[in-house]
Structure 1
Amino acid sequence: MTKADLVNAMAEKAGLSKADAEKALKAFTDSVTDALKAGEKVALVGFGTFSVGERAARTGQNPQTGAKIQIAAAKSPKFKAGKALKDSVN
């Protein structure tokens, strides 16, 4: 499902115009992004939890030259599905 498909589905299910559904989707994604940037979790009961995971700095190896390189620490977004979502998919 693409973003356009999601906007169409949201508009149909909520009885909104496509423009309003797109604004709502953008507001949702912006709000989740802002919360994750601030280091917060976003928990939607029954759906899932968005959080930020941390990866430590480590030493890697360039596959072409075999030279050792330092890979910097990084943060990455994570999503853990809630029980209701898992149950509805299965």
Structure 2
Amino acid sequence: MNKSEMIDAIAERSELSKAGSAKALDAIIETIVETVAKGESVTLVGFGSFKASSRAAREGKNPKTGDKIQIPETVVPKFAAGATFKARVSGKE
């Protein structure tokens, strides 16, 4: 499912127009991104949680030349699925 299909599905399930659904989806995504970028977490009970996670510096290998390279420390977004989401996907609900 891509973004436009998601907007169609939201409009179908709610009483929002497609334009309203698009604005709502954009607002949700932007709020999650801004919050996680600030280092805070976003938890949607039953769905999951988004948070920033630190990835330590490490030594890697250039796949083209085989030379060793230093990969710097970085912060990456992480998503952990909630129990309800996991159960629904696995068919155990």
> Which TM-score tier does this pair reach, normalised by the shorter chain?
over 0.9
Describe how 1:1-90 pairs up with structure 2 within 5 A.
Answer: 1-89=1-89, 90=91
Runs of 4+ in 1 over 2 A off after TM superposition: none
TM value normalised by structure 1: 0.94
Q: Give ranges in structure 1 of 5+ residues lacking alignment.
A: none
SS at match of 1:43: strand
List runs of 5+ in structure 2 lacking aligned partners.
none
Q: What value does the CA root-mean-square deviation take over the aligned residues? A: 0.9
Identity between Structure 1 and Structure 2 (%)? 47
Aligned length: 90
The one-letter amino acid paired with 2:51 is: S
Map Cα deviations across residues 64-85 of structure 1 (whole Å, 9 max, x no partner). Answer: 2222211111111111111111
- SS of residue matched to 1:86: helix
